[in-house]
């Protein structure tokens, strides 16, 4: 899986299809959680979330992991341009999460529009690996796609997901063919959904998971 080919075009494609819904989902919880000391972001993309996180919490330490060298270059340039005072606090790792393991512990984990790239057996392994790097009481932010509940919107959502998986399967080498709910794997590793926010069209959701705390909403994400 590698997004080098689509990296230069990802921003306009995202805006064309979803407007600002994906960025709103990414950033929804930033100012609603305690200030983290060390954050791990996996699959950051082109740096829009990272810059917003650094704007709110400019002094935090961040490890940013992405398998795409081009995406990391775009992220670094964006941080240098928008948050130059925080650039020295960010470490960038061009790594495949299936082969790479965190060497530090974190009180904030972030995987926005990333877990949907993996097949069921891979997803279980990725969640377990990242969960092992979580400090006690860590938070995990996950923004991702979801299938609406209403009949017409559900049909449109499934069609859109089918198209996206086909497109990114060809352009980025994503092996997954369907959206897999990460909730059972997070639950198995001690994380519970504390709260969620659905987009206006109910196609995108933003979830806050907490380690070692029972949330109020354990509903499936798919």
Domain harbouring 37, CATH code: 3.40.50.150
Tokens 């240098």 map to which residue? 80
Residue at 30 is within a domain: yes
pLDDT per residue rounded down to tens, the chain (222 residues) = 889 989 999 999 999 999 999 999 999 999 999 999 999 999 999 999 999 999 999 999 999 999 999 999 999 999 999 999 999 999 999 999 999 999 999 999 999 999 999 999 999 999 999 999 999 999 999 999 998 888 888 899 999 999 999 999 999 999 899 999 999 999 999 999 999 999 877 889 999 999 986 554 444 444
Q: What's residue 148's pLDDT?
A: 85
User: Cβ neighbours of residue 220 under 8 Å, at least 6 residues apart?
Assistant: 181, 183
Residue at 122 is within a domain: yes
Residue at 23 is within a domain: yes
Instruction: Please give the structure tokens belonging to residue 96.
Output: 């495949």
Q: What's residue 221's pLDDT?
A: 45
Residue at 117 is within a domain: yes
Q: What's residue 212's pLDDT?
A: 85
Residue at 219 is within a domain: no
Tell me the whole-structure pTM to 2 decimals: 0.92
- Give CA–CA dist 145/129, Å, rounded: 22
DSSP symbol at 203: S
Residue at 217 is within a domain: no
Residue at 164 is within a domain: yes
Residue at 102 is within a domain: yes
Q: What is the three-class DSSP state of 211?
A: strand
Q: What is the tally of structural domains in the chain?
A: 1
Instruction: Please give the structure tokens belonging to residue 219.
Output: 């509903």
Nearest to 1 by CA among 126, 108, 162: 126
User: Cβ neighbours of residue 183 under 8 Å, at least 6 residues apart?
Assistant: 193, 218, 220, 221
Boundaries of domain holding 27: 7-211
- Long-range contacts (CB closer than 8 Å, 24 or more residues apart) made by 116-119: 116/144, 116/145, 116/176, 116/179, 116/180, 117/1, 117/43, 117/168, 117/174, 117/176, 118/175, 118/176, 118/180, 119/175, 119/176, 119/177, 119/180
């Amino acid at each position: 899986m590698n997004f080098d080919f689509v990296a230069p075009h990802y921003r306009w494609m995202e805006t064309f299809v979803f407007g600002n819904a994906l960025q709103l989902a990414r950033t929804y919880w930033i100012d609603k959680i305690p200030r983290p000391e060390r954050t791990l972001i996996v699959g950051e993309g082109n740096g829009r979330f990272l810059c917003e996180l650094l704007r709110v919490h400019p002094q935090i330490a961040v490890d940013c992991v992405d398998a795409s060298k081009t995406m990391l270059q775009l992220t670094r340039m964006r941080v240098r341009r928008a948050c130059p005072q925080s650039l020295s606090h960010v470490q960038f790792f061009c790594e495949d999460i299936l082969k790479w393991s965190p060497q530090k512990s974190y009180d904030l984990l972030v995987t926005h529009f990333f877990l949907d790239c993996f097949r069921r057996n891979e997803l279980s392994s990725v969640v377990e690996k990242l969960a092992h790097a979580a400090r006690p009481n860590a938070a995990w932010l996950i923004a991702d796609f979801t299938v609406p509940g209403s009949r017409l919107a559900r049909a449109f959502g499934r069609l859109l997901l089918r198209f996206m998986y086909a497109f990114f399967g060809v352009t980025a080498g994503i092996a997954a063919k369907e959206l897999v709910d990460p909730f059972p794997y997070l639950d198995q590793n001690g994380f519970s959904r504390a709260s969620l926010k659905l987009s206006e069209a109910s196609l995108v959701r933003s979830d806050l998971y907490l380690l070692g705390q029972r949330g109020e909403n354990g509903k499936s994400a798919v």
